[in-house]
Amino acid sequence: MAQKIVAGNWKMNHDLEQSLQLTEELNAKQLDEDVRVIIFPPALFVQPMSALKEGDFELGVQNFSQNTDGAYTGEISISQVESVGGTVGLIGHSERRAYHAESSELLKSKVDHAVANNFDFIFCCGEPLSVRESGGELAFVKKQLQESLFHLTANQIDGGVIAYEPVWAIGTGVTASVEQAEDMHKNIRSWLVEVYGTAVANNISILYGGSCKPSNAKELFSCPNVDGGLIGGASLKATDFSAIIQSY
Ligand code: PEP
């Protein structure tokens, strides 16, 4: 069965003091034991947050290198992330695709590197507004998955995590309707069934991301194929983020 997950992507927000304060606030919250909770702070703060962390949540990075080590200025390796307490990484967030020219090929190599190193990841996908408006969203998202993720074997993808994040809903305040979210998630599940069979498909968590907040999380999480959320703006406040977790 797919694990329930609520993850918070802080993006390039918060300084050290704010990050530690939020860690303490999250330490004090009673987080739902059935839900895997992950925070993706700026990578700089994984170590100090990890040292302060007492609550039942994990820390991850918003990006990591597809290389093991060496002359890659500005990059961070999986082993470096693990050495400071990070357990998971995002791959292919739309902002990395758009502003850092991350190609499907590059994302595929990050997926392979994570699998080879037994490092958990959340693979992000989602269509821009122009594609949604022209009715091409299913083909677009399917292609993203085929190009960078579906080359994995059933064993490699089993228990993995996909986040569907329509670009037009990220940071805009516009949320996909329950019908739009469930329709895409249902299709992603059916493609997983086609490629990997029902047992593996049902074991993969498909998260929704895009202006998810305390007021709409319950409705979104009640969709049969929505296994949780990847939360941006609303994860920056411990009260909002824990309210979203409690929505389950
Ligand atoms: C995100 O960037 O992953 C995201 C979902 O952002 P927001 O919740 O702010 O739309």
Spans of all domains in the chain: 4-245
List all residues whose CB is within 6 A of at least one atom of ligand 1: 9, 165, 170-171, 209-212, 230-234
With a cut of 90, say whether residue 55 has pLDDT above it.
no
Start-end of H helices in 40-128: 46-52, 78-83, 94-99, 104-116
User: Which residues are identified as catalytic?
Assistant: 93, 165
- Rounded to an integer, what distance in angstroms lies between the CA atom of residue 74 and that of residue 94? 20
Contact criterion met (CB below 8 Å) for 26 and 57: yes
- Rounded to an integer, what distance in angstroms lies between the CA atom of residue 206 and that of residue 187? 11
What average pLDDT is seen over the chain? 97
Mutate to test the pocket of ligand 1, among 14, 94, 165 (most ligand atoms within 8 A of CB): 165
123-168 tens-digit pLDDT: 999 999 999 999 999 999 999 999 999 999 999 999 999 999 999 9
Contact criterion met (CB below 8 Å) for 128 and 168: yes
Percent with pLDDT over 70 in the chain: 100
With a cut of 90, say whether residue 227 has pLDDT above it.
yes
The residue whose CA has the least distance to atom 3 of ligand 1 is 232
DSSP 177-194: PHHHHHHHHHHHHHHHHH
78-132 tens-digit pLDDT: 999 999 999 999 999 999 999 999 999 999 999 999 999 999 999 999 999 999 9
Q: How far is the CA of 36 from the centre of ligand 1 (A)?
A: 18
- Rounded to an integer, what distance in angstroms lies between the CA atom of residue 48 and that of residue 60? 13
Mutate to test the pocket of ligand 1, among 63, 129, 164, 211 (most ligand atoms within 8 A of CB): 211
Contact criterion met (CB below 8 Å) for 233 and 11: no
Q: Where residue 33 falls among pLDDT bands split at 50, 70, 90? A: confident
The architecture in CATH of the region 4-245 reads Alpha-Beta Barrel (3.20)
Q: Where residue 32 falls among pLDDT bands split at 50, 70, 90? A: confident
Is the Cα torsion angle 100, 105, 107, 110 positive or negative in sign? Answer: negative
- What's the pTM? 0.97
Q: Which atom of ligand 1 is nearest to the CA of 124?
A: 3
Residue located via tokens 């994302």:
107
Q: Where residue 177 falls among pLDDT bands split at 50, 70, 90? A: very high
Q: Where residue 30 falls among pLDDT bands split at 50, 70, 90? A: confident
